[in-house]
Chains A and B, each alone.
Chain A
């Protein structure tokens, strides 16, 4: 026993943690039962990678995904309330993992962004003109989408997980309980099942996160903010004419609005508004902006076919793990305003890696899963600075003019660095970490370029006979 009052040395601490990590009862072994609560991207990614990694060790696991939805109906019944964008970096990473998104799942390949402000619009194209952003439906598409046989992303991932050996249980989990040291799932039917490991992938909009916090008080659910997502049915031809293969983003001086986008998808357009507690007044204000109306046929915004106010994760959960339990996806940590599916992939894979190669104790998750979550959380702190600066640019007409001018002149040039375009591209697509974006904005050449464009775009000039056309 440790003498009273003596602090344990670092060596003692690591030995104790090492021993705890290697406790044989807290390792997965042949025949271990693993439950995944929620068959969205986090749950299916977890099951898929867990089984693939287990196969590298010849470990035979029994993995069950609890998901009551079939994803065969359009509208709310099969919907996961998400903008449905797979970022440029995630599309590439999934392809190297052997998860190539099939054309029937991708509703539209996006190759560029159209940035709209009240002082002009400009198209941002990456140097490599290639469709590397996927606009898709998580569920089976919005209301009225049934006749169009939409194949949802969640269904695709579930099928891939099932292909690796996972079983899909079409049951609704209502409680997560503990019997001894084993987590137990209680279903709506009253059935109770104990497991060696439970991965909670319910998303942030589920009450089950509160049940987890009740059972394991060290877990604190994440902070959330309300967003707005809706769908317009315009038909492919109209969408091609009005929006093309670009995602349309808006920098408008509307308080509480951090990000707004129109995303073309097959016969529909998804509108996503992110920010601080989006409400109906803000939605109305956004839809009445001339820059938004100009994206619709005859500048008239049609009625929505469905809409929702889902919540998104804006601050990480505390200790999203315990012995034999790990919380992945939105219920744990997610990237601020961007790349929610990418966060699901990163946290699910880190959890699977830990469970297979390290163990399923709280100490194992703390040492090997939490660093991946922490990296996202730390990057989000820097993301807040990026969005504060972006908010300032949104607020002033002078800065909006400078931004549009700088992006426009970079896009017109055949070569040379595209500093502002690159920053905007990465802010909109969520492809690069916020730390990297912030570092690039502090580069002297970026700041000099911004200053020059601030002057050039706002200093009144004497009229000339042949003037350059402004963007």
Chain B
């Protein structure tokens, strides 16, 4: 991984955020990949794999809730932290700053809708 880049380098398997912890920042991946994991009854489910340019933890910017998932580096990953304060201060002057995040949230909702539809379809078909 280049020594010149911005952000912090996380080692393979290192946790970047932990589910149920309260956060006050979001993250933008600069290099490498991270996996998003949901922990349920001592089991872990991978919800997705994110790469350069993707961001995560954005819910902490708009609501004061615990993190919905755990995020870990897959291989080495360089990740930039975006402070809630920096973001919200600027968004007052320039609301279009939130458009990129809204766009990502829309994509995630669309992906979830598709997933729910597929699951319902599988359930209605019943076990074969």
| Chain A residues packing against B (C-beta within 8 Å) | 53, 56, 88-89, 91-93, 95-98, 100-104, 106-109, 128-132, 134, 266, 346, 349-350, 353, 372, 375, 431
Contact = CB atoms under 8 A, between A and B. Distances in A.
A402 B100 CA distance: 45
Given A95-B82, A96-B55, 7 more contacts: A89-B90, A100-B53, A106-B6, A131-B6, A131-B7, A131-B8, A132-B6
B64 interface: no
Contacts of B6: 91, 101, 106, 109, 131-132, 134
B80 A95 contact: yes
A92 B87 contact: yes
Interface residues of B, number: 27
Interface string B23-38: 0001010110000000
B101 interface: yes
Chain A: interface secondary structure? mixed
Q: Which of A93, A95, A132, A375 has the largest number of chain B CB atoms within 10 A?
A: A95
A108 B90 contact: no
Contacts of A346: 93-94
Chain B: interface secondary structure? mixed
Contacts, number: 83
Interface string B67-111: 000000000000011110011001001101101110000000000
Contacts of A93: 86-87, 90, 97
Contacts of B55: 95-96
A98 B97 contact: no
B80 A132 contact: yes
Given A92-B86, A100-B28, A130 B7 contact: yes
Contact of A96 (B28, B30, B31, B93): B28
A375 B93 contact: yes
A103 B5 contact: yes
7 contacts: A89-B86, A93-B86, A100-B52, A130-B8, A131-B8, A132-B80, A134-B6
A134 to B, nearest CB: 6
B101 A96 contact: yes
A93 B96 CA distance: 12
Contacts of A98: 53, 100
Given A103-B2, A104-B4, A128 B100 contact: no
Contact of B94 (A89, A103, A349): A349
